[in-house]
């Protein structure tokens, strides 16, 4: 994992921008996210800060791996209209990622905000440590790794993101959830808002980095004045909204939906840590009441880095959206109709025979483990 620290203050970033610049925030979703300087969350914060200060942000681009030049080119091609208008790109990626963006967008102002300090790893607490620093840092190799705030302190870099200097003031609106008043950001996604308020709304097809699809229907909520139930992931927050997000009736419905999802897949072989398995345990379902006769399909092990088991796929479409939106490749898609619907790679080829960049965006987004990292273990028989 590449370790980077912020080298630019918010004021310095603004000095690099003009008020009439049309800005795109480019955010890598890999190493830099673990260094707390990238990913969708940080891109959103920076967007809010810039808009509040009167800058024109015309887009955000979340990229699965910014150091893959071919993926950067794909993103440019897919969002040609936005990038044609853009005059400045703020890159939330390591210096390698920045080089790729600068190469592809050589006619734009490309702004780097980080300094890459070396290579490190992820500790068991999910914390990032620097183990192999670059020589210019003056630090030696450390097996246990340096804490990033210590490195930042020594090198005169910033240990956190821009919002540590100045919190963005988003426009807030009032909503009522289960009879209680709350303040949330105007226009935010209702599911995001409810989760941030502490409501444990189950969801399988939603991922903050991806566009909402409303496929799994687990996040259905009641909204006053609306006919029927609405999926929270596809609803925007509005002032004065009155929502029922939890309750006996909704719980019963969510359990029913979960049983139907379970019937679609071979739930008995789900990974213990998958999101679906977590929900099955949470709703105390031992066996679904429904059965769907499905043929067992072969496991696709053709990729060098991951395995695809279609038998535990619930057709939530997260992998398809991740492949299109984060990697920009569109290798995965739905094929066939009705109960025969399934996810296929390119023209129904084994995934290893396609142009897959192995960026792992689809694997990271899979809620069941149908796409899982490949772990090879061989014993030499003597």
Partner 1 sequence: MIFSKVLPYKKIIEQLGDRETKIAIISCNGCARICGCGGFDGANKLRFKLIRDGYNVTDVIVVLYACSELSLKELKRKIKLTSEIKTIISLACSAGWACITRNFPDKKVINATEDIGLIVIDKEKEVFKLTLPYKKFEHQAKNEYEIGTGELVSRKKIIKLEA
Site for partner 1, rule CB under 8 A = 1-2, 67-70, 73, 94-97, 99-100, 102-103, 106, 116, 119-124, 126, 131-132, 134-135, 141-145, 304-305, 355, 357, 360, 373-380, 382
Q: How far apart are CA 222 and CA 242, in angstroms?
A: 8
Q: How far apart are CA 88 and CA 107, in angstroms?
A: 10
For residue 372, the minimal CB distance to partner 1 (Å) is 9
Q: Are 244 and 252 in contact (CB under 8 A)?
A: no
Tell me how far the alpha carbon of residue 236 is from its chain's centroid: 19
Q: What is the DSSP letter of 87?
A: S
* Pairing assessment for the beta strands 88-92 and 109-112 based on DSSP bridges: parallel
**Is the CB of 83 or the CB of 98 nearer to partner 1?**
98
For residue 381, the minimal CB distance to partner 1 (Å) is 9
Tokens standing for residue 204:
């399988």
**Is the CB of 119 or the CB of 172 nearer to partner 1?**
119
**Is the CB of 39 or the CB of 97 nearer to partner 1?**
97
Burial class of residue 130 (count of CB atoms within 10 Å of its CB; 0-12, 13-18, 19+): buried
**Is the CB of 106 or the CB of 286 nearer to partner 1?**
106
Label each residue of 111-180 as H, E or C.
EECEEEEEEEEECCCCCEEEEEECHHHCCCCCCCCEEHHHHHHHHCCECCCHHHCCCCCCCEEEEEECCE
**Is the CB of 116 or the CB of 365 nearer to partner 1?**
116
Q: How far apart are CA 303 and CA 356, in angstroms?
A: 9
- Spatial neighbors of 222 by CB under 8 A, at least 6 apart, are 229, 230, 243, 244, 250
For residue 171, the minimal CB distance to partner 1 (Å) is 38
- What are phi and psi for residue 163, nearest 5 degrees? -65, -10
For residue 299, the minimal CB distance to partner 1 (Å) is 17
For residue 5, the minimal CB distance to partner 1 (Å) is 14
Q: Are 63 and 101 in contact (CB under 8 A)?
A: no
- Say which residue the tokens 């009155």 belong to: 242
For residue 116, the minimal CB distance to partner 1 (Å) is 6
**Is the CB of 68 or the CB of 223 nearer to partner 1?**
68
- Say which residue the tokens 């308020």 belong to: 197
**Is the CB of 269 or the CB of 292 nearer to partner 1?**
269
For residue 267, the minimal CB distance to partner 1 (Å) is 20
For residue 208, the minimal CB distance to partner 1 (Å) is 20
For residue 69, the minimal CB distance to partner 1 (Å) is 4
**Is the CB of 162 or the CB of 306 nearer to partner 1?**
306
Q: How far apart are CA 60 and CA 117, in angstroms?
A: 26
For residue 33, the minimal CB distance to partner 1 (Å) is 13
**Is the CB of 184 or the CB of 370 nearer to partner 1?**
370
- Spatial neighbors of 105 by CB under 8 A, at least 6 apart, are 76, 83, 86, 89
Tokens standing for residue 210:
């991806």
Q: What is the CA radius of gyration of the chain?
A: 23
**Is the CB of 31 or the CB of 220 nearer to partner 1?**
31
């Amino acid at each position: 994992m590449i370790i980077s620290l912020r080298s630019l203050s918010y004021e310095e970033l603004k000095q690099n921008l003009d008020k009439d610049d049309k800005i795109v925030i480019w955010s890598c979703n890999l190493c830099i996210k673990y260094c707390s300087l990238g990913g969708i969350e940080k891109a959103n914060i920076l967007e809010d800060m810039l808009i509040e200060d009167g800058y024109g942000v015309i887009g955000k681009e979340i990229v699965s791996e910014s150091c893959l030049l071919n993926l950067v080119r794909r993103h440019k091609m897919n969002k040609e209209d936005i990038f044609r208008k853009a005059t400045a790109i703020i890159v939330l990626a390591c210096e390698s990622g920045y080089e790729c963006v600068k190469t592809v967008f050589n006619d734009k102002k490309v702004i780097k905000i980080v300094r890459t300090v070396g290579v490190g790893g992820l500790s068991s607490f999910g914390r990032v440590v620097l183990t192999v620093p670059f020589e210019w840092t003056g630090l030696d190799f450390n097996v246990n790794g340096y804490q990033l705030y210590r490195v930042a302190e020594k090198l005169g870099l910033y240990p956190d993101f821009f919002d540590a200097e100045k919190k963005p003031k988003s426009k807030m609106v009032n909503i009522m959830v289960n009879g209680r008043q709350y303040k949330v950001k105007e226009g935010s996604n209702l599911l995001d808002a409810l989760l941030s308020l502490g409501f444990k709304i189950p969801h399988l097809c939603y991922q903050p980095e991806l566009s909402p699809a409303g496929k799994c229907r687990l996040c259905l909520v009641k909204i006053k004045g609306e006919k029927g139930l609405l999926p929270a992931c596809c609803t925007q927050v509005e002032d004065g909204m009155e929502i029922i997000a939890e309750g006996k009736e909704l719980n019963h419905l969510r359990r029913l939906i979960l049983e139907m999802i379970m019937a679609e897949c071979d739930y008995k072989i789900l990974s213990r840590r998958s999101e679906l398995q977590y929900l099955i345990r949470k709703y105390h379902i031992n066996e679904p009441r429904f059965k769907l006769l499905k043929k067992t399909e072969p496991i696709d092990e053709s990729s060098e880095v991951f395995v695809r088991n279609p038998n535990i796929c619930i057709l939530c479409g997260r992998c398809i959206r991740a492949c299109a939106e984060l990697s920009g490749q569109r290798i995965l898609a739905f094929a066939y109709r009705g109960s025969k619907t399934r996810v296929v790679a390119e023209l129904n080829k084994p995934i290893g025979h396609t142009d897959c960049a192995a960026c792992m965006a689809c694997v990271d987004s899979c809620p069941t483990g149908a796409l899982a990292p490949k772990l090879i273990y061989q014993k030499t028989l003597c």
